């Protein structure tokens, strides 16, 4: 009863006002993402448990990390349903951090080499 009343008023409001802050998603979406995050975490733990080394290890760790991060941001944080304006404002600036990471990797290698030299 109460549910249908709420749903009804939400529908009525969405007709009256095209802009709605309220989000409704099926519970299945969350449960799926939850399960996927569990599975991906098990996989990334297995990378260490099975003792993978070198490029395979780093590649797998990075892949699972970015996959998990993407799921959390897109579904749990509802970014997939936001407007492009807020997506760009929030998701683009961290891209600069890749640049910082690259610079500091070069810097770190230089420090390492000069430490070996002296």
Residues lying near another protein in the complex (CB under 8 A) are found at: 2-3, 6, 10, 13-14, 17-25, 27, 30-31, 33-34, 37-38, 41, 44-45, 47-49, 57-58, 61-62, 64-65, 68-69, 72-73, 75-78, 82-86, 88-90, 93-94, 97, 100-101, 104-105, 107-109, 111-112, 115-116
Question: Residue 19 Cβ, how far from another protein at the closest point, in Å?
Answer: 5
Residue 10 near residue 22, CB atoms below 8 Å: yes
Buried b (16+ CB within 10 A) or exposed e, 30-51: eeebeeebeebeeebeebeeee
Question: Residue 97 Cβ, how far from another protein at the closest point, in Å?
Answer: 5
Q: How far apart are CA 12 and CA 16, in angstroms?
A: 6
Question: Residue 114 Cβ, how far from another protein at the closest point, in Å?
Answer: 9
């Amino acid at each position: 009863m109460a549910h249908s009343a709420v749903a009804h008023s939400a529908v009525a409001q969405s007709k009256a006002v095209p802009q709605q802050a309220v989000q409704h998603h099926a519970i299945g979406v969350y449960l799926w993402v939850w399960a996927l995050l569990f599975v991906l975490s098990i996989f990334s733990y297995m990378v260490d448990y099975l003792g993978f080394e070198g490029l395979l290890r780093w590649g797998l760790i990075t892949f699972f990390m970015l996959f998990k991060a993407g799921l959390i941001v897109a579904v749990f944080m509802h970014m997939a349903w936001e407007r492009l304006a807020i997506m760009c404002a929030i998701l683009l600036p961290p891209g600069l951090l890749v640049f910082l990471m690259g610079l500091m990797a070069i810097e770190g290698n230089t420090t390492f080499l000069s430490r070996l030299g002296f």
